[in-house]
Amino acid sequence: MNKSFLRAVGLCTVLVVVLSGCAEISGNPKTTIGAVGGAAVGGLIAGAAHGSPAAIAASVIGGALVGGLVGNLLDERDRRLASQAAHDALETAPSGKSVGWTNPDTGHSGSVTPQHTYQNADGRYCREYQTTITIDGQPKEGYGTACRQPDGTWQVLN
């Protein structure tokens, strides 16, 4: 797989984790698209991490559920803008400096703020981060940790 595709997968995962508690499932077609995409991303990430078949299956199921939630709320441009902000924040922003995004077409916005950078026991650089997504005037916050892979992508740990 090419490097930019894996980077996009990793960044979308950051967004999925952040938004997993923010949505309601409805009959929206974006929910179905998000669920299918989330299942694929979950499986790819688990497979790339050389996970066991049980871990891959769990990631596919979890990705489908969370991807459906995200797909229900954010359109393609929202996801692209949020993914780019996450990439910029994790890759280059100093701790405490937010990288924001806004979609003028939907009014959705958000930011990603790296909180702490450290090197883990495996020698990988990891960043704790906070993100805020505002949809229909309702801000939602999320927190997590992502570690940089040898290929330059970011793997979300939690």
Over residues 98-109, mean pLDDT: 94
Question: What percentage of residues in the chain have a pLDDT greater than 70?
Answer: 54
**Average of per-residue pLDDT across 73-91:** 88
* DSSP SS3 for 74: coil
Residue-wise pLDDT tens digits, 87-100? 899 999 999 999 99
pTM tops 0.85: no
State how many domains the chain has: 1
Please give the structure tokens belonging to residue 73.
């709320």
State mean pLDDT over 55-63.
55
Residues 6+ apart with CB under 8 A from 88: 99, 112
Structural domain range at position 112? 3-156
Nearest to 82 by CA among 129, 150, 152, 29: 129
130 confidence band (pLDDT: 50, 70, 90) = very high
Q: What is the rounded CA–CA span in Å between residue 46 and residue 53?
A: 9
